């Protein structure tokens, strides 16, 4: 009776422990296994910019302060190890296993790869030249938990910049696979759903099922309710606004949903395009300083650094410096409002027509005097009645001047167009989290009634 090959016995045992193990069809004693590098806690991965081959620096530029050129990201998953193991003739008494390790992309250095491959022989000798495959695989898995000791004193990992896109893409896909395996309670329908039919909001990480999100956002965009295109979780947007205020940052908190995230949910492309167009239109209408093209067939808004026209399906966010400069130019040093007699030149963002904001004619230069444009026809009786009604029964928003009418409740109003909080009696701005005392007294009076 032939003695059973000890290599086949060990390989059968290893295959029972690791079902994902793949045996080579041409060599029954050669197999491969993929070991994931999933971390217990996120690690900061730095991608320093390449300096080799850069042009020589001018002596004057050497005196300028250095600018940080490296990029860093917090990751939870790194590309897995592909381990190929061959059990040669004479194993385990005479020869150790042969190991080949690789990664895609090759984010581990050659020195690290060689050190990991050399561990199998060291373990083989340590175990008295006995079966060592399971112990070696287990050793690699334990080492992967601390990224093979490659993290520096600050807790960061440095990887070559050329692998940045592939590593970030791997992390995103690995997180998605882990998300799809979990079960979540939808924040809208409150039913338990698998992650494969759910979407996690990118900014706040709240989870909702895709069907509920599609119905909610499609209805809102169809009806033109752009202000509600936020996270459906109650108070989520308000909490982020409060956090931004507490941090004393001038830039407002981002509470709206980006077009790219709507496409990921997914929503139809035409619906997302309508959302982008409506949001840009709402921003223009909320700004008292918006100037429109005088061409009757165009009526597009003039170019603005504060409200840039969207490019495709993405909003073009103006920088803080540009918005602040335009605000100063619009209000002046003494808080004066926008004056079309001073800001004469305007260019339509739709048709490119350059015109004068004072006379409405094609641009004639700054030094030519022109007469302000006037309405050719008198206001009709019906129009005058509408204006009188708005004057006596509405209060203009202090931000965008939209007429707002109170139908019930207290005098703490919120503009339907720009979401500004203000007093219905005097149009004063109000802090949404801390109304003025007179507003509170009016609320109490209404409750007593």
Per-residue pLDDT at 398 = 85
Q: Provide the mean pLDDT of the chain.
A: 81
CB 428 within 8 A of CB 395: no
How buried is 238 (Cβ within 10 angstroms: 0-12 exposed, 13-18 middle, 19+ buried)? middle
CB 422 within 8 A of CB 429: yes
DSSP 308-320: PPPBTTB--PPPH
* More confident: 112 or 432: 112
pLDDT greater than 80 at residue 335:
no
User: Can you tell me the mean pLDDT for 334-348?
Assistant: 63
Cα–Cα distance, 449 to 441 (Å, whole number): 13
Instruction: Give the total residue count for the chain.
Output: 449
Q: Is the dihedral of CA 387, 392, 393, 397 positive or negative?
A: positive
Residue 4 to residues 8, 26, 97, Cα–Cα distance (Å): 8, 20, 19
DSSP 137-155: HHHHHHHHHTGGGT--TTS
What's the pLDDT tens digit per position in 24-43?
A: 889 888 999 999 998 888 88
User: Can you tell me the mean pLDDT for 2-9?
Assistant: 77
Per-residue pLDDT at 381 = 80
What's the pLDDT tens digit per position in 145-172?
A: 888 888 888 888 988 888 989 999 999 8
pLDDT greater than 90 at residue 303:
no
pLDDT greater than 60 at residue 447:
no
Cα–Cα distance, 90 to 161 (Å, whole number): 44
The torsion angles phi and psi of 143, rounded to 5 degrees, stand at -70, -30
**Nearest residue to 137 via CA among 78, 81, 88, 79:** 81
Per-residue pLDDT at 361 = 86
Which two structure tokens, joined as six digits, stand for 256? 């709206």
CB 265 within 8 A of CB 210: yes
End-to-end CA distance of the chain: 102
Bond before 266 cis per omega within 30 degrees: yes
How buried is 413 (Cβ within 10 angstroms: 0-12 exposed, 13-18 middle, 19+ buried)? buried
DSSP three-state, residue 197 = helix
* More confident: 422 or 433: 422
Which two structure tokens, joined as six digits, stand for 32? 């491969």
Q: Give percent above pLDDT 70 in the chain.
A: 81
Give residue for tokens 């100063």: 328
Highest mean pLDDT among 66-70, 120-124, 282-286, 296-300: 120-124
The torsion angles phi and psi of 414, rounded to 5 degrees, stand at -135, 120
Per-residue pLDDT at 377 = 54
Cα–Cα distance, 346 to 328 (Å, whole number): 17
What's the pLDDT tens digit per position in 377-412?
A: 566 788 788 888 888 888 888 887 788 888 888 888
Lowest mean pLDDT among 119-128, 212-221, 288-297: 288-297
* More confident: 171 or 376: 171
DSSP three-state, residue 11 = helix
* DSSP annotation of 181: H
pLDDT greater than 50 at residue 332:
no
Cα–Cα distance, 344 to 110 (Å, whole number): 64
What's the pLDDT tens digit per position in 164-209?
A: 899 999 998 998 899 999 999 998 999 999 999 999 988 888 999 9
**Nearest residue to 402 via CA among 385, 416, 381:** 416
Cα–Cα distance, 127 to 212 (Å, whole number): 58
Per-residue pLDDT at 321 = 45
Per-residue pLDDT at 183 = 93
């Amino acid at each position: 009776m032939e003695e059973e090959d000890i290599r086949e016995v060990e390989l059968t045992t290893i295959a029972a422990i690791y079902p994902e193990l793949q045996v080579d069809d041409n060599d029954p004693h050669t197999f491969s296994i993929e070991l994931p590098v999933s971390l217990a806690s996120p690690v900061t991965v730095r991608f320093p910019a390449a300096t080799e081959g850069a042009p020589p620096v001018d002596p004057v530029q050497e005196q300028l302060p250095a600018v940080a050129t490296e990029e860093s990201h917090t990751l939870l998953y790194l590309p897995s190890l592909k381990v190929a193991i061959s059990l040669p003739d004479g194993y385990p008494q005479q020869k150790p296993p042969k190991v080949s390790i690789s990664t895609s992309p090759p984010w581990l250095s050659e020195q690290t790869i060689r050190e990991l491959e050399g561990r199998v022989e060291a373990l083989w000798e340590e175990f008295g030249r006995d079966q060592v495959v399971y112990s070696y695989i287990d050793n690699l898995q334990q080492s992967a938990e601390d990224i093979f000791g490659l993290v520096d004193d600050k807790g960061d990992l440095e990887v070559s910049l050329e692998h940045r896109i592939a590593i970030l893409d791997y992390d995103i896909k690995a997180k998605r696979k882990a998300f799809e395996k979990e079960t979540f309670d939808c924040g809208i329908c409150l039913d338990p759903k698998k992650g494969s039919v759910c979407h996690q909001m990118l900014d706040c990480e709240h989870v909702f099922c895709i069907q509920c999100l599609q119905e909610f956002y499609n209805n809102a965009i169809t009806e033109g309710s752009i202000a509600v295109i936020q996270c459906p979780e109650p108070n989520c947007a308000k909490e982020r606004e409060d956090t931004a205020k507490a941090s004393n940052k001038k830039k407002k908190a981002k509470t709206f949903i980006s077009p790219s995230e709507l496409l990921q949910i997914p929503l139809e492309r035409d619906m997302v395009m309508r959302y982008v167009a409506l949001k840009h239109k709402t921003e223009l209408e909320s700004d008292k300083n918006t100037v429109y093209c005088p061409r009757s067939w165009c009526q597009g808004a003039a170019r603005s650094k504060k409200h840039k026209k969207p490019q495709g399906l993405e909003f073009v966010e103006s920088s803080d410096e540009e918005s602040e400069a335009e605000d100063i130019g619009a209000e002046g040093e003494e808080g004066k409002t926008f004056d079309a007699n001073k800001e004469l030149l305007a260019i339509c963002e739709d048709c490119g027509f350059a015109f004068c904001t004072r006379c409405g004619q094609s641009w004639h230069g700054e030094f030519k005097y022109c007469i302000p444009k006037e309405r050719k026809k008198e206001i009709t009786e019906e129009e005058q009645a509408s204006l009188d009604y708005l004057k006596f029964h509405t209060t203009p928003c202090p931000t965008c001047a939209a007429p707002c009418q109170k139908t019930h409740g207290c005098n703490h109003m919120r503009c339907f167009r720009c979401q500004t909080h203000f007093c219905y009696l005097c149009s004063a701005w109000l802090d949404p989290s801390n109304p003025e005392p007179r507003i509170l007294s009016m609320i109490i009076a209404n409750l007593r009634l």
